[in-house]
Each structure stands twice: as C-alpha cells, then as structure tokens.
Amino acid sequence: MQAGYAVQVEHSRGRRFPEPPHPYRNDFQRDRDRVIHARAFRRLEDKTQVFTRRYSDHFRNRLTHTIEVAQITRTIAGALNLNVDLAEALALVHDLGHPPFGHAGEKALDAAMRSHGLSFDHNLHALRIVEDFEQRYAAFRGLNLTFEVREGIIKHSRDYDAAEHPELAEYLLDQRPPLEAQLIDLTDEIGYNTADLDDGYEAHLLTLGQIRAGVPVFERFFREAERTYPNVADKLKFNEALKGVLNQMASDLITNTQERLKQAGVETLDEVRHYNERIAAFSPEVEAERKQIKEFLYENLYYSVSLAGEKDDAERIVSELFAFWTENPSALPPYYREKAAQESLPRVVCDYIAGMTDHFIIEQYEKHCGGTR
C-alpha cells in the first residue's frame, strides 16, 4: 500500500492534452511505456556514459546506466511505499536530454551556446524532447506525459528560479518535488558511482590498490570479502565489495529518508511539497562516503590522462560542428532549416547536436569538417 506522502495516480494533474483512460495501465505506467518506446530513449544506447567502446563492449552507456538506475529506483521507492510506477518513469527519462560524448559533449555544447548569450541544460532539453521533438501521435506533438513526470524531469536534480525561467512557471517552482522525483538524483549517484568504479577497474584505468587506498568504504567491504572468500580471484572479491557499497548506499537512503519523514512529521504529499528542504537524503556518514567516492573518481578517472584525448576530441567535434551549422544553416537537414525560420538558429543547432548519437556526430564531423578523431 502506498504511503500518504506518495503521489497517487488517481490524483494526477493529468496530461496537457486529455486522453481517455487505458483499460489496464494507469497513467504513470503509460508514461513509462511511452518513454521506453521513444526514439530518444533508443538513442541512449550509442551515447557515452564515461567510456567509449574502444575500451570494451561491456561498459555502461547511457542506456544501460539508465536501466540500472531504474532498477535501483524501483527497489527504493517500493521500500518507502512510494508510487513505484512514477519513480520508474522518472528514472527512465532522467538522462533523455544528454548530448553525445557524455559530460564532455555537454560542456562543449553549453560553452557554444553561451557564446550566443544562451545555455544548454540537459534537464530542460529532456523536457523539450518529450514536449515537442518526439512525434509519434496524430493528436499531439511530443509524448503528452503527465504533469508529474514532466515536473520530475526538470526538478529531480535541482531547483529552478521562477524569475530566470518563466517558461517553467506551471511546474510549481516554489514547491519541493514529490519524493518520487527527489529519489532520482540520489539513485543516479548510487548507480554511476559504483558502476564507474567497476568500469574503471575493468578498463585497467584504476587499480585495485588505488581503489582500496582511495575509497575507505570499498576497502571495508573488500576486507570482509577477503575473510569470507579467501580463495577466490580478486575480481570476485572486488564484485562482492562493490555490491556491499551499493547495498549500503541504497539501504541508508531508505532508512535515513524514513527517519527524516518521521522527524519532520510529514505524512502527506502536500507536506512534502511545502517542507523547507528535500527530505530524501543519505545519512551524514554515507553522504561523506558518497563524496569520497565521487572525489576519487574525478581525481583518478574522469580527469585521468588516459581519457583526456577522448574528451578533447569530443569537445572539438561538438564545438566545430556547432560553428559550422551556425555559419552555414543551409547545410542543416530540411526539418531544422524550417525550425530555424521560427526559432533562434543557435538553439536549433543545439537541439540537432544534442539529439545525435556518438556514431552519428562523428559521421557528421567527417562529412562537414573534413576531420577525424
């Protein structure tokens, strides 16, 4: 049974374009299914998470990362008696707006937009995708998702100022998002912190000694694995330790959020929305461990010399293609040329690039800029 502070689907604020109810799926289940069947969701398969495929076909991409976050989110939302269907839909849509080449691509795209007095935000871009770019239905543009999913897309990881973003006024910017949305940024952290340790170790960019020395919580669980399984390979001990880290973070998020709800006396969704801060959170101890993992990954993996060349390539490709199309809009595909007649050209070029897969943007770079990576 869902708690009183959960979002009740029967109380949804509904869709922008009203639709008749489905005979055997509730509205949040339909939203989940629409996201999964969206073209933008399929494109996540060829968008970098951290590593390109030159290291291995086994590493996470945006799609597999999203699926892992959805699994973690479903489990935690269920334990908190939240609306699992809404939480799952939000987890599946949370990275829909990311451009190719991971954070390097996003950094370059934002820099290119800022040179025109604009910016790129992957959450706001995800909203544009589900509101406008996806064209599957005869009755309306976009996916016509419920208010709660659209609200969660923009509010799951940060708060937006109504004065700076008047176009988002309908999304209750003066209120906290529901707990289902509050979970997503935290389950995202659980997913990628543990996965990036795993992929970094598999890529031989991180050594077991480095991780044990630099991530105390991992070391604690690795020693436990050594005591329990003294005769197995280091990789299996590594897996056991990583499983322990993930389980601790997930369990802590559940128990600490339950305790914060109790201490705050919050029992209804309205009280969640009007509380003075977000309620879903790790305990101070696990939050400190989360920061340690993240700092370790930035210092030893994300900014490593081994990945620097790929990041430089990614930023150059995005920057040069952005400049090419803003200077040569006639080279854009017909659909985007038509949009450029109605919207600002930099925004249209940004939208075009942001939707590309890694593979396609490399093809476009070689075609229009005469370069190779």
List the CATH number of the domain containing 144: 1.10.3210.10
Task: List the structure tokens of 256.
Answer: 């600490």
Q: Does any domain span residue 226?
A: yes
User: How far does CA 318 lie from the centroid of its chain?
Assistant: 20
Q: Residue 373 — very low, low, confident or very high, per pLDDT cuts 50/70/90?
A: very low
Report yes or no on 315 lying in a domain: no
In a domain, 347, yes or no: no
Q: CA 56 to CA 318: how far, in whole Å?
A: 24
Find the distance separating the first CA and the last CA of the chain, reported in whole Å.
53
Q: What's residue 26's pLDDT? A: 98
pTM of the model: 0.94
Q: What is the pLDDT of residue 281?
A: 98
Q: Would 335 be classed as within a structural domain?
A: no
Helices (H), the chain: 27-36, 39-43, 62-79, 84-93, 102-114, 122-128, 147-155, 179-202, 208-214, 216-228, 234-264, 269-274, 284-297, 305-327, 334-340, 345-354, 358-368
Q: Into how many domains does the chain fold?
A: 1
Q: Which residues, other chains included, contact 210 with Cβ-Cβ below 8 Å and sequence gap of 6+?
A: 300
Helices (H), 208-233: 208-214, 216-228
**In the structure encoding, which two tokens stand for residue 319, read together?**
């920057």
Determine the Cα–Cα distance for residues 360 and 371; give it in Å rounded to an integer: 14
| Predicted confidence (pLDDT) per residue in 268-292, tens digit | 999 999 999 999 999 999 999 999 9
Please give the mean pLDDT across all residues of the chain: 94
336 belongs to a structural domain: no
Question: Is 290 a member of any domain?
Answer: yes
**325 lies in a domain?**
no
Domain assignment present for residue 312? The answer is no
Over residues 332-347, the mean pLDDT reads 93
Residue 142 carries which DSSP code?
Answer: B
The burial of 130, by beta-carbon neighbours within 10 Å (0-12 exposed, 13-18 middle, 19 or more buried), is given as buried
CB neighbour list of residue 354: distance below 8 Å, 6 or more residues apart = 97, 98, 99, 109, 120, 122, 125
What is the extent of the structural domain holding 164? 9-307
Over residues 118-150, the pLDDT tens digits come to 999 999 999 999 999 999 999 999 999 999 999
Answer for the pair 91, 17: CB distance below 8 angstroms, yes or no.
no
Note the pLDDT of residue 57.
Answer: 62
Name the burial class of residue 299, with classes exposed (0-12), middle (13-18) and buried (19+) by CB atoms within 10 angstroms of its CB: exposed
Confidence of residue 211 (pLDDT cuts 50, 70, 90): very high
pLDDT the model gives residue 53:
53
Going by pLDDT thresholds of 50, 70 and 90, the confidence category of residue 194 is: very high
The count of other CB atoms within 10 Å of the CB of residue 157 is: 18
In this structure, of 79-83, 191-195, 211-215, 340-344, the range with the lowest mean pLDDT score is: 340-344
Distances (CA, A) of 30 to 10, 45, 70, 86, 149: 14, 22, 16, 10, 11
Residues 6+ apart with CB under 8 A from 13: 146, 147, 148
